[in-house]
Amino acid sequence: MPALPALPPNAARLPTTPQLHALLTIIRDKNTPRSDFIFYSDRIIRLLVEEGLNHLPVLERTVMTPTGCPYTGVAFEGRICGVSILRAGEAMESGLRECCRSVRIGKILIQRDEETAKPKLFYAKLPEDIEHRWVLLLDPMLATGGSAIQAIQVLLDHGVKAERILFLNMIASPEGLDAIWNACPQVRVVSAWVDARLSAQNCIIPGLGDYGDRYYSG
């Protein structure tokens, strides 16, 4: 198993287990058929969403059990919503819905401007009350961090507090994590795995290729 790089203070990753490592091995394999890529990606996404929910605040709550005894547990503090960065981020929406019933989901489309080579906002549709919610920002891959930072700025412009944003991604680069830490240190990031580096072409190494193409096109 490869050595794990150090993380910035605002970042966390899933516990390193044989199951996670096996799932990642399957989806990294260029010969994995699309149906298997989707199935095993969805399993990782479910693990990632569940870990992300562990980073949200809770309040003490007492309920009455069927035996007539009170039980003091916890409940989530406030409402949440998901926001996917199109198009690959949409692949994570079903995993969020499986964990959070009737969750509202917004969408942000960011593409590279061919003239400036920088990320540019093309579309944003968000819940009207998003400033009052905890936001799970969804995108499977974190490379340079440019699109994620742009999406975070869109959320900030809509009144969301930085400390209420949790960015979930499957595979991150150390450079991308550092970029988010430097630009938005109050935003928390949870990754399933952190790879070694970016290539000269800003591709995650070893990575798994274009996630959106493999998930949607095969």
Q: Does 61 sit behind a cis peptide bond, omega within 30 degrees of 0 on the bond before it?
A: no
Residue with tokens 């790879």: 195
Contact by Cβ (8 Å): 159, 153: no
Residues written for the chain: 218
Is residue 20 helix, strand or coil? helix
Per DSSP, the chain holds a count of helices (H) and strands (E) of 6, 12
Active site residues: 112, 116, 210, 213
pLDDT band at 115 (very low <50, low <70, confident <90, very high): low
pLDDT value of position 6: 83
* Segments making up each domain of the chain, as ranges: 16-216
Burial 132-160 (b: 16+ CB within 10 A, else e): ebbbbbbbbbbbebbbbbbbbebbeebeb
What are the tens digits of pLDDT across the range 15-42? Answer: 999 999 999 999 999 999 999 999 999 9
Domain 16-216 sits in CATH at 3.40.50.2020
Structure tokens belonging to residue 208: 């798994």
Provide the mean pLDDT of the chain. Answer: 93
Instruction: Judge whether residue 59 has pLDDT over 80.
Output: yes
How far is the C-alpha of 11 from the C-alpha of 18, rounded, in Å?
22
Q: What average pLDDT does the segment 81-96 reach?
A: 94
pLDDT value of position 217: 84
Least confident of 111-120, 121-130, 205-214: 111-120
Q: What average pLDDT does the segment 71-99 reach?
A: 93
